[in-house]
A and B are shown apart, each in its own frame.
Chain A
């Protein structure tokens, strides 16, 4: 027997053991902490802190770099074409796989919808913010989903500590002119960020922090039933065509639907308690940032001080009560670095990444954001040709340009990556259905401030430079000219 066969033979395990060890099952040591007071505090802080528009003053004396020495590829910014990203109605196409960067730290719920554990709210729209936003801490390998922000007023918090007002991150293409004609919505949602959650404002080309708590669909897929909308007090399915038919049907009134949602929440809680398993805590968890140790207070103050760079906050495993940890990643401009600071909300233990960026370094650092922005502009004038893909018969689905920083042996490098994603639909003889295939392509540009060079580099060269390390998983090798199956049409 080979090791491959032996590992495959673990398929013979009984289901009970598999289920018991599921990453989404209850952990034996899990302690449920409910810091409602802290939540209130966090909300208050969030509300009191004014909106901060972050024009990053990090490049006071940007290093001069020579122009690119090759004919720069393209730029068409697919980010500005939401219909390409969302308009095809294919339930399998998601545009990007959003949880990759946070994958190891995220505990996704097993089930979704109007179940337990989510924030569930009956709310009305206050306003729809006009700008386009992009998340920072999401995998940018594909075109990052473009979002609009909707400001809601809570009418009734059905589950969880939903504040009086909150923001909802809604993928572009969902919100149209008719959207504010709905009276109210019942929304099942996940908390995306706590205080000063930062997004890139694509309309104004800058980062923006938000004082209101920001919620979103946990799986970035609004089509699958997280919204129930009402017009004149009656369910209206026009915006969200796919919904939980067990819960709501055309003709249901808002009062009746609310009753059913509440019943569902109650049933789900009971079901979970009875089963002994739960995908995530039944009660909504909130955390305190009112630290008692000097170390935690200092770290928290450091990441809040925006002149030190922008630290984008995420909550590791916010469904997991065992080790709630605030994690801050330094961004320079819109570009990620390896500098990460974590504060364990339970133990107040602070962890600093090995790589740090000093104030002095920040003053003379190469401006990767600017370079990426210029490249986007060039691409906008002419569509770039992907270096490894035969585009015949394929449709460009997304094109993305993004950059990041790497510090290697004391030298700071900027890397700008262009990614292409093409679609092709073919009939599959084996499965007797149409299959949507995706083709991936990319190219890299290295900005070397030390040697004052800007040049196109291959993935292998990059990996050689980094000693094989791929800190952000951005150098990761996808197969070129390979048809990735993305969905089936039966």
Chain B
């Protein structure tokens, strides 16, 4: 079923919307959740929460790209859950991603959030300016929280290539944020 038809089912409050969503995007959402939570039950629960959030949010939302809309919901739910549960349950793979991200934050940084609009603009300009391969590797790592191994495999790179590429991109990103006046 086409995405627009699935969205229409949500708008009609037809429960078949969730069946169709699960059928078409269940695996996609599960993968995102599993990368972060590294637990099949937790990931499955997270995907179920995604369906509920989708049910609650459509209407009024009418996403053009259902996959990324659901992916964002899943990622958000999974990350929040991971942060909440981190003390009890470790996912070394996800921890590594957090640690890499932490490199971007200078010591003594405040917990103030930068302006979301400005941050969105900067992140997207930075990512958009990257060479295509670097971009997908960067997004796979920090949006999909994919492992280095999987990224390397998917893009025909060695794991050390991916690590170096990510390191350089993080350094560039940090410099770019500073240049743009985004203080983390």
Interface residues of A (CB under 8 A from B): 1-15, 17-24, 27-29, 91-92, 97, 99-100, 103-104, 108-113, 139, 141, 219, 221, 224-225, 242, 244, 246, 317, 320, 322-323, 431, 438, 440, 476-479, 484-488, 490
Contacts and interface: CB of A to CB of B under 8 A. Distances in A.
Contact of A21 (B22, B23, B51, B144): B144
B143 A9 contact: no
Given A11-B76, A23-B144, A484 B41 contact: yes
Most buried by B among A29, A103, A225: A103
Interface in B139-161: 139-140, 142-144, 146-147, 149-150, 153-156
B87 interface: no
B112 A1 contact: yes
B49 interface: yes
Contacts of B80: 8
20 contacts: A1-B105, A1-B114, A3-B102, A13-B124, A13-B127, A19-B65, A21-B137, A22-B28, A23-B150, A24-B28, A28-B132, A28-B136, A91-B18, A103-B31, A110-B24, A113-B1, A219-B23, A246-B5, A490-B18, A490-B55
B45 interface: yes
Contacts of B45: 484-486
Given A15-B65, A21-B144, A110 B113 contact: no
B120 A108 contact: no
Contacts of B156: 27, 29, 322-323
Max chain B Cβ within 10 angstroms of own Cβ: one of A13, A487, A488: A13
Given A3-B101, A219-B27, A431-B52, A12 B119 contact: yes
Contacts of B38: 476
B102 to A, nearest CB: 4
Contact of B44 (A242, A244, A486): A486
B172 interface: no
B7 interface: no
Interface in B1-43: 1, 5, 15, 18-19, 22-28, 30-31, 34, 38-43
A246 B26 CA distance: 20
Nearest to B76: A11
Contacts of B52: 431, 488
Contact of B104 (A6, A100, A431): A6
Nearest to B86: A4
Specify the main secondary structure of chain A where it touches its partner: loop
A446 to B, nearest CB: 23
A6 B140 contact: no
Contacts of A14: 124, 127-128
Contact of A488 (B1, B26, B48): B48
B155 A29 contact: yes
Contacts of A8: 76, 79-80
Residue from A7, A14, A23, A219 having most chain B Cβ neighbours under 10 A: A7
B135 interface: yes
B72 interface: yes
A477 B87 CA distance: 13
Contacts of B57: none
Contacts of B48: 92, 485-488
Contacts of A113: 1, 23
B155 A28 contact: yes
What are the 5 closest A-B residue pairs judged by CB atoms, nearest first? A21-B139, A12-B120, A97-B40, A3-B102, A21-B136
A19 B55 CA distance: 22
Contacts of B23: 112-113, 219, 221, 224-225
Contacts of B137: 21
B27 A108 contact: yes
B89 A111 contact: no
A9 B98 contact: no
Contacts of B51: 488
Interface string B106-121: 0001111110100110
Nearest to B51: A488
Given A11-B76, A12-B116, A21 B27 contact: no
Interface centre among B23, B64, B155 (most CB of A within 10 A): B23
B51 to A, nearest CB: 7
B171 interface: no
A244 B39 contact: no
B18 to A, nearest CB: 8
Contact of A18 (B71, B104, B109, B150): B71
B133 A9 contact: no
B15 A490 contact: yes
B61 interface: no
B154 A322 contact: yes
Given A1-B113, A17-B124, A477-B89, A97 B144 contact: no
Contacts of A18: 68, 71-72, 139, 143
Contacts of B28: 22, 24, 108, 110
Contact of A17 (B22, B34, B127): B127
B27 to A, nearest CB: 4
Contacts of A100: 34, 40
B154 A27 contact: yes
B142 A7 contact: yes
Contacts of A29: 155-156
Contacts of A225: 23
Contacts of B101: 3, 6-7
Given A2-B111, A113-B1, 17 more contacts: A1-B112, A4-B83, A12-B123, A17-B143, A99-B27, A104-B147, A108-B31, A109-B27, A110-B24, A113-B23, A431-B52, A478-B41, A485-B49, A486-B44, A488-B51, A488-B52, A490-B15
